[in-house]
A = this chain, B = another copy of it.
Amino acid sequence: MSDFCSLYDMKLSDLGEFGLIRRIQGIASRKSSSVLVGIGDDAAALRLSASQILLVTTDALLEGVHFDLTYTDFYSLGWKSAAVNLSDIAAMGGVPRFCLIALGIPARISAEQVTEFYRGFNALLRAHKTILVGGDTCSSRKGLFISVTVLGETNPRRVVTRAGARPGDRIFVTGTLGDSAAGLEILKSGGTLHSREHSLTLGAGRGQGARAGKLIQKHLLPVPRIQEGRKLALSGCASAMIDLSDGLSSDLSRICEQSKVGAKIYVGQIPLSPPLRKASARLKKTPLHYALSGGEDYELLFTVPPARVRKLRVLGIPFTEIGEITRARRMLLLDSSGDRTPMQPSGYNHFPPTSRP
């Protein structure tokens, strides 16, 4: 009880997002042999039988916070609502099976738009053999809100958490980083959006348009790395894993915190796509800015013990080695000249200190 007295009249901005999560853990924590992984990882892992682990994750998308209807069509919004949750199952090495959705719909949204949302939502579910089994559809007086829960499965001893990284483990990512955040900035700066064909153009010139299109597509229609996460888990290669939802610096800090380790990242090895390199110049930011601080790539960030790196190379997944886990509990960026810069988590904080009361 006394633990909460100091909270009286405290603002959420004083406590911060992670402070709040720790409070919740304090209130809700209960020991149970059936909860292998509880609050604080990509998904909860529940032991239902000796041979079966159930993975469960829930993620909400709120209008004005996670999306702006000016910059997305409803098909893409549905797709992405499924993708961000499937990505959490991927980060635990699981197979998604079932899905539930709660939708709060303002009166200004048409039935056709809701149908488009469900078409996008279900297109991604179908691609991953995941079945929508229930939900709650209600009116909203305020904004559009979307809350999705996905249930997945995996094998005992094959659950990959954020807590398993050890000093000396190599750090890897799938795909390229920063594309999604750059895509959003292109949309905000006036890139046009043709939702159906997903053929997106920006400014003049065919080459520019195609490049912008790839970044925008990565933002609107992210593809969760289900197959890759599964292979990394089943092969035993990954010692820790997380999906990149808030940017490399934030998500790496979560692995470091839960594994009680630090990390060094080789700046020159961070995979950046040619479209990102070219768009960054016009957006007047460095590609590295997007890679470190830009969220919503939904690539996988994972660590591999040195002895298993050989095995990783034959799994047939697209990955890049970007750094190494260290005993010293801090995150460092190393450039090609050997200079070291401390790396701070810089992703989205839902309750930042500067937020208005």
**A contacts, CB < 8 Å to B:** 4, 7-15, 17, 20-21, 23-24, 27-28, 30, 32, 34-35, 38-39, 41, 43-44, 46, 48-49, 52, 54, 56-60, 62-66, 97-98, 100-105, 107-112, 114-115, 118-119, 122, 125-126, 131-143, 145, 147, 149, 151, 350-351, 355-357
A198 to chain B, nearest CB (A): 18
- Nearest-CB residue, chain B, relative to A25: B132
Instruction: Specify which chain B residues have a CB less than 8 angstroms from the CB of A10 in the assembled complex.
Output: 110-112
Q: Do B138 and A350 touch across chains, with their CB atoms under 8 A apart? A: yes
Known contacts A14-B111, A48-B52; is A134 also within 8 Å of B38 by CB?
Answer: yes
- Nearest-CB residue, chain B, relative to A39: B134
Q: Do B7 and A100 touch across chains, with their CB atoms under 8 A apart? A: no
Instruction: Specify which chain B residues have a CB less than 8 angstroms from the CB of A133 in the assembled complex.
Output: 35, 38-39, 44, 46, 56
Q: Do A351 and B12 touch across chains, with their CB atoms under 8 A apart? A: no
A205 to chain B, nearest CB (A): 34
Q: Do B20 and A112 touch across chains, with their CB atoms under 8 A apart? A: no
Copies in the complex: 2
Supply 9 further A-B pairs (C-beta < 8 A) apart from A38-B132, A58-B135, A142-B145: A4-B112, A8-B112, A20-B114, A23-B115, A27-B122, A60-B145, A62-B142, A64-B142, A145-B145
Instruction: Specify which chain B residues have a CB less than 8 angstroms from the CB of A43 in the assembled complex.
Output: 134
Instruction: Specify which chain B residues have a CB less than 8 angstroms from the CB of A98 in the assembled complex.
Output: 35, 44, 46, 56
Known contacts A17-B137, A48-B52, A115-B23; is A58 also within 8 Å of B149 by CB?
Answer: yes
A119 to chain B, nearest CB (A): 6
Instruction: Specify which chain B residues have a CB less than 8 angstroms from the CB of A111 in the assembled complex.
Output: 7, 10-12, 14-15, 20, 23
Looking at A14, A104, A110, A135, which has the most chain B CB atoms within 10 Å of its CB?
Answer: A104
Q: Do A100 and B62 touch across chains, with their CB atoms under 8 A apart? A: no
Looking at A35, A112, A122, A141, which has the most chain B CB atoms within 10 Å of its CB?
Answer: A112
18 A-B interface contacts by CB (under 8 A): A11-B111, A12-B107, A12-B111, A20-B114, A23-B115, A24-B135, A24-B137, A28-B132, A30-B131, A38-B133, A39-B132, A39-B134, A44-B133, A46-B98, A49-B49, A54-B151, A64-B142, A65-B139
- Nearest-CB residue, chain B, relative to A143: B142
Looking at A17, A41, A145, which has the most chain B CB atoms within 10 Å of its CB?
Answer: A145
